[in-house]
Chains A and B, each alone.
Chain A
Amino acid sequence: MTETPVTSVKTAVPGARRPGPGNALLGLAGLGGFLALAEAVPRLGLVSPDYLPPASTIAVALVGEMSDAAFWTALGDTLTGWALGLLIATVAGVATGVLITVVPYLREATASTVEFLRPIPSVALIPLAVLLFGTDLRSTLLLVVYAAFWQVLVQVLYGVQDLDPVAEETARSYGLGTWARIRHVLWPTALPYVMTGVRLAAAVALVLAITAELIIGTPGLGSRIAVAQTSHAVPDMYALVAVTGLIGVLINLGARAVERRSLAWHQSVRGEVTT
């Protein structure tokens, strides 16, 4: 209730957060079951503990990792590559999307190029990244930005299409110029789509950041996973993989929280309101 705008006129129904305490309990139970299974399977000898150590061993390895300064450096490197890449991709995607829309005929002229470039898997650019930047952070950035940029751009292009002609005419009739209409009408209209784009891009960016570190060897959790693998530190490898998964979960939760806060006015967040 706290972040819902409360007014004296009509109170908005806080929707969008259906999962009650019962569901959370079930989720915890499921997670506990999964961990128990991961503990039991190697202990019962169904899978060799050399390839899949019991969950408790992995947990111990995780604690060991967390007491190692190099782990935190790697985590910082991964998050830097992820955040910086996502930021660049978002700014570039939004700017390009708005520009393509506002300049006449540009959208038609660029549509085929976008459709051609977009499906190119970012990992196909790994050789290029190595050639250009070696094992530098910039290699990670190249892959992250390329993958995340299209997610944002495509959503921005969808979003600006959602522009209501009545809203646009209202703005024009009240003397809002091109820039004011972009700022006050186009941008808020596209914002829900931009948020979706950034959320998708954030997930993709993490995948590409880890991939770059793993394959190219740019510093970060990915290269640490590779080192753990080659030195047969299997529990550590699993611990690091678990950490990347946790980062993914946190990123998604964070993105959703930002979305809810900034889109309180949008029907996807505000829930049912009688008019």
Chain B
Amino acid sequence: MSKESGVKAGKGQHMLDVRGLRKVYEGHGRHVEAVRDLTFSLDAGELVCLVGPSGCGKTTLLKCIAGLLEPTSGEVLLQGDRITGPPPGMAVVFQEYGRSLFPWLRVRDNVELPLRQKKHLTKARRRELVEHALHAVGLEDAAGAYPWQLSGGMQQRVAIARAVAYEPEVLLMDEPFAAVDAQTRADLEDLIRRLWQELGVTVLFVTHDIDEAVYLGERVVILSSSPTVVQEQLTIDLPAERDQLHTRADPRFTELRTRVYEQIQAAKRATGALPLQKTDTDADTVPPAAAPGHKA
């Protein structure tokens, strides 16, 4: 079991390790292999975006990492400790902010509720964390409101504040901005970059939006279609200071997004066939049935 306030990952040890993860849904005579064989890792303080075609099992993967779902085989390690249930050092921001926030609690109480499970925190400390987190997302004025009195973008910021106040080592985000409008989305992306830089937290950001993945990430992990494997990993060598206007106009940005786009297209074409890593030659010649365990 990982300790409450665990030490930061040491040398040679990753913050988050996903090893040979496989998830098969069984039931009602159906057998669905959502995730086939996923291996990747995050170093401490990294911001990694996970992108893949729709229906490729991103949410399944995220739930396995969050300890909400038991993998069929393989394992997920947080600072070297195997995850068997939701670990204390991890916070999740869900896409459906409207359902993830509790409508019967005011904003302040929504943010505080998880902290009340951490028994070592005093009431004063909890209040301090809540105030600080709401300030960090620019919502200190909305502390007394109910979530449903706020706009969608503000609600998602409350959810982010709740995660920030929890002081996680790893922050998981499951397509958090898929349901907000483009303008709000850009603001929220910049908010995440800023929080990541200020807090030094490790972030795994799941999205289906290629531009968003390239804009946000230090690294992009591209997943194949279901049954899912890692299609490619791409380091995003854009400057650390990013802004919506200049970064997106950067030729390197265009180059990278084209690269990710091509990989996702290749992943879609290879559906059912042996998913390839680093190359997409011969993708169509491999018979679907003859897909043995594949190691790159």
Contact = CB atoms under 8 A, between A and B. Distances in A.
B partners with A: yes
Interface string B159-182: 000100010000000000000000
A184 B102 contact: yes
Given A167-B102, A188-B102, A275-B98, A270 B92 contact: no
Interface string A254-275: 0000000000011100100101
A175 B114 contact: yes
Interface in B122-153: 141-142, 144-146, 148-152
Interface string B78-99: 0000000010101110101011
A173 B91 contact: yes
B117 interface: yes
B103 A169 contact: no
Contacts of B100: 166-167, 170
B66 interface: yes
A253 to B, nearest CB: 24
A12 interface: yes
Interface in A85-123: none
Contacts of A175: 86, 88, 114, 117-118
Nearest to B67: A173
> Among B88, B96, B105, B146, which residue has the most Cβ atoms of chain A within 10 A?
B146
A120 to B, nearest CB: 35
B9 interface: no
A164 interface: yes
A188 B152 CA distance: 22
B68 A172 contact: yes
B117 A166 contact: no
Contacts, number: 90
A178 B105 CA distance: 19
A170 B94 contact: yes
Nearest to A180: B117
Interface residues of B, number: 36
Interface of A is mostly: loop
B151 A170 contact: no
Contacts of B88: 175
A166 B94 contact: yes
B145 A9 contact: yes
Nearest to A263: B104
B77 interface: no
B113 interface: yes
A229 B152 CA distance: 64
A177 to B, nearest CB: 8
A40 B268 CA distance: 84
Interface of B: 63, 66-68, 86, 88, 90-92, 94, 96, 98-100, 102-105, 113-114, 117-118, 141-142, 144-146, 148-152, 154-155, 162, 166
Interface of A: 5, 7-12, 164, 166-167, 169-170, 172-177, 180, 184-185, 188, 191, 265-267, 270, 273, 275
